[in-house]
Amino acid sequence: MKTIGYLGPQGTFTELAVKGLFKEGSHLPFSTIPACMDAVANKEADLAVVPLENAIEGSVNLSMDYLIHKHTLPIIGEIVVPIEQHLLVAPSMADKWKECTEIYSHPHAIAQCHDFLNKELPGSDLQYTNSTGAAAKKVLEESDRPIAAIANELAAQKYGLVIAQKNIHDYVNNHTKFVILKRPETSFQVSSSLKTGEKTTLMVTLPSDYSGALHQVLSAFAWRKLNLSKIESRPMKTGLGNYFFVIDVDQAMDEVLIPGVVQELEALGCGVRVLGSYPCFSLQNVEEGAKNPVPK
Ligand SMILES: O=C(O)C(=O)C[C@]1(C(=O)O)C=C[C@@H](O)C=C1
């Protein structure tokens, strides 16, 4: 039976992703994203599920940077989860939620709700936690104080809180993409009826900064008619102006086209690392009850 590490505690969106995709195996919460990835590298867990990108707030840089700079953990799957942020308070604060002076949540969750917070709770202190689940737990632990958490329905159930305001995220179509990581030497694969497609993710570094360098990189994909669904630059952390690119190709690794791109880029002097070629899944059309199961 495999152990799946996730960003905990119970009641996070990452737990929803894990519960949606893995019907078997034991689910092990970790309090930070790095701890989750360390657990796979150290063989404490077989797989890790961590958030990578949100539709409103963009990339979860901590996950991406840790993957690039700390551990070489291949991506073996991606799962997209619809995100509904709610304002949770202790039952005694249900009718007095406007009196809350401190709002706790993960930085991404707070960023998804800035309009709501400005309008409904102006002047409140925004306090960052490692996850939305940790924020809900904090509200339970300090239920005698006027504090609230931004978190999901599962967290409300788990920590005995009430939803004072539902769907407080500023834009509809809020989704977060999570990736599933394994150790290089293991051979786990993820399969599920929730599959929506396949993807290959490459990390590319340029040999030096010269005019047209990125254009040359992109042409290697373009003339092969390989569709890219994402390109993002992140600092190499070696000095100002030094970047690497993370490129998502809209198809699985094949025997000709993607290896051809890799060879062409290497011939140009680029560094190329395949971060993974993997199936993509989505919880978008899963019924509410299955998406937000009440924890046992
Ligand atoms: O805190 C959680 O519940 C998480 O799973 C983390 C996370 C994130 O890192 O973006 C995941 C989804 C939401 O976008 C908010 C927070």
62-85 confidence digits (pLDDT tens) = 999 999 999 999 999 999 999 999
State the average pLDDT for the chain: 94
Closest Cα to atom 10, ligand 1: which residue?
108
Looking at residue 287, its pLDDT comes to 56
Residue 60 in contact with ligand 1 by CB distance below 6 A: yes
Q: In what order do the strands lie in the sheet with 86-89?
A: 125-128, 102-105, 147-151, 86-89, 162-165
| Helix or strand run (H / E) with residue 61 | helix 61-69
Alpha-carbon span 65 to 91, nearest angstrom: 39
Give domain limits for the chain.
3-82+175-282, 86-172
Eight-class DSSP state of 293: P
Looking at residue 288, its pLDDT comes to 52
In the numeric block, which tokens belong to residue 40? 């796979």
108-155 confidence digits (pLDDT tens) = 999 999 999 999 999 999 999 999 999 999 999 999 999 999 999 999
In the numeric block, which tokens belong to residue 93? 């604060």
Give 86-172's CATH code, choosing from 3.40.30.10, 3.40.50.2300, 3.40.190.10, 3.50.50.60.
Answer: 3.40.190.10
- Ligand 1, pocket-test mutation among 54, 110, 139, most atoms within 8 A of CB: 54
How close is the Cα of 261 to the center of ligand 1, in Å? Answer: 34
Alpha-carbon span 46 to 78, nearest angstrom: 16
Q: For the chain, give the number of residues.
A: 296
55-64 confidence digits (pLDDT tens) = 988 999 999 9
> Which CATH fold would you assign to the domain 3-82+175-282?
D-Maltodextrin-Binding Protein; domain 2 (3.40.190)
Closest Cα to atom 15, ligand 1: which residue?
109
User: 3-82+175-282 with 86-172: one CATH topology?
Assistant: yes
Token pair 């880029």 is found at 265
Do 11 and 161 form a contact (C-beta atoms < 8 A)? no
Residue 5 in contact with ligand 1 by CB distance below 6 A: no
Atom of ligand 1 nearest to the CA of 178: 11
Atom of ligand 1 nearest to the CA of 6: 5
